[in-house]
Amino acid sequence: MAGTVAEAPLAQLTAVPANAGKANLVGALKSEFTKIRSVRSTYWNLLGMMVVTIGFGALASFGATRNPHGSGFDPTMHSLGGLYISQLIIAALGVIVITSEYSTKMIGTSLTAMPRRGTFIAAKAIVFGAVALVTSLVTCFAAFFIGQAIMSSHHINATLSQPGVLRAVVGGALFLTAVGLLGFGIGLLIRHSAGAICAAVALLFVASILVNLLPMNWQNDLDRWLPAIAGGSVWSVMPQSSPPATFGPWTGFAVLCGWAVLAIAGGMYLFRKRNA
């Protein structure tokens, strides 16, 4: 009788499913999605990105109706002109997604729940990338249609059916997503929100200004390798042929993705070596 009583708890323990308690990617994705949607800064940053992209695109489109334009006029790029500024907002959000773990001292708890560091970072990047892509697609299409509606009164607008236009609009969303992941990688490298945001702004914005101080032949070689300039070719319809000539749309986007991959890979290497 005593043996039967002793065996009952053991039977209950062995009845627990084999996968119970295991840390896996699906669970990590659910956890990261809960985190990103429960933080107020996510909504403010995404709203700011949308307002800036659409607002500055509308302003650039209105300006185009008041200015002369030649054969190289790109109405699609004008309506997406807000991306020059909103790239900084999405990069800052990418930084905060990872650095907030350190600023709130939650990184230890997160790694206790998900001790596999590679899975932890992959889940964060996937969730953030998905949220950034969906929001960016909505934003870029809204900016395009509003901008073209403004320019249509002067018959200088474009349509999605024209060559390269749909690619440019979708490319704008891909550009923002890649820039956000670049910010995520920089945040993983530096682990401090202010420092990482400053580094992202310097790389995306300040570097393109400073390169203009270099000799012209250096500018032509370096300019197109900068992430913002290289990636910008994917959301323009008219190719830039005069110096400094940029890469083609997908080649330029690949250069931007390369920057993001390098930042995340470098950050992942240090993340594995450092203490939480």
The more confidently predicted of residues 53 and 211 is: 53
Q: Return the closest-CA partner of residue 268 out of 191, 194, 198.
A: 191
Query: How far is 80 from 59, CA to CA, in rounded Å?
Result: 10
DSSP letter (8 states) at residue 67? S
Query: How far is 221 from 32, CA to CA, in rounded Å?
Result: 40
Cα-Cα end-to-end distance for the chain: 51
User: Given a cut of 70, is residue 10 above it in pLDDT?
Assistant: no
DSSP letter (8 states) at residue 29? H
Residue bearing tokens 């809960």: 34
pLDDT category, 5, cuts 50, 70, 90? very low
pLDDT category, 1, cuts 50, 70, 90? very low
pLDDT category, 52, cuts 50, 70, 90? very high
For the entire predicted model, the pTM comes to 0.87
Radius of gyration of the chain (CA): 23
Rounded to the nearest 10 degrees, the angle between the axes of helix 249-273 and helix 165-190 is 20
Tokens of 42: 């996510």
Instruction: Encode pLDDT of 106-136 as tens digits.
Output: 888 888 888 899 999 999 999 999 999 999 9
- pLDDT value at position 80? 95
User: Given a cut of 60, is residue 77 above it in pLDDT?
Assistant: yes
Query: How far is 177 from 186, CA to CA, in rounded Å?
Result: 14
Instruction: Encode pLDDT of 249-274 as tens digits.
Output: 999 999 999 999 999 999 999 998 88
Instruction: Encode pLDDT of 147-168 as tens digits.
Output: 999 999 888 889 999 999 999 9
pLDDT (average), residues 50-59: 96
Residue bearing tokens 């200015």: 67
Query: How far is 198 from 183, CA to CA, in rounded Å?
Result: 10
Q: Does the N-terminal peptide bond of residue 244 adopt cis geometry, omega within 30 degrees of 0?
A: yes
Which residues have a Cβ under 8 Å from the Cβ of 181 and sit 6 or more positions away? 94, 125, 128, 129, 132, 260, 264
Query: How far is 272 from 119, CA to CA, in rounded Å?
Result: 12
Query: How far is 109 from 22, CA to CA, in rounded Å?
Result: 16
Q: How many residues does the chain have?
A: 276
